[in-house]
């Protein structure tokens, strides 16, 4: 649970303290609400990617599971 909260906190820190979002969105005139929505979209994409990886990568290798069963 802590890692999911950390994703949100890190995105919020980027939104409020960094100018990198302005550099990424260079050439477009976004207001603060639109910039916030971009951060929310990025946050959700990272969470979906994290969920995907947690389903694809097993917590234990198969040989460990076999040893625990015997």
* Inter-helix orientation angle 2-17/32-56, to 10°: 150
**pLDDT exceeds cutoff 90 at 53:** yes
**Residue 22's pLDDT is what?**
78
Q: Which segments within 6-48 are labelled E, that is strand?
A: none
Contact of 15 with 39, CB cutoff 8 Å: yes
**pLDDT exceeds cutoff 90 at 40:** yes
Report the alpha-carbon distance of residue 47 to residue 37 in Å, rounded. Answer: 15
Average of pLDDT values for 20-40?
84
Average of pLDDT values for 33-44?
92
The residue ranges of every structural domain in the chain are 2-69
Q: What percent of the chain has pLDDT over 70?
A: 100
What's the mean pLDDT when you consider all of the chain?
Answer: 89
> Which of residues 37 and 28 earns the better pLDDT score?
37
């Amino acid at each position: 649970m802590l890692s999911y909260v950390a994703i949100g906190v890190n995105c919020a820190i980027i939104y409020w303290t960094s100018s990198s979002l302005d550099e990424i969105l260079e050439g477009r005139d976004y207001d603060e609400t639109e910039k916030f929505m971009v951060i929310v979209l990025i946050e959700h994409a990272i969470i979906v990617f994290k969920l995907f990886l947690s389903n694809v990568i097993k917590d234990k290798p198969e040989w460990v599971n076999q040893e625990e069963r015997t």
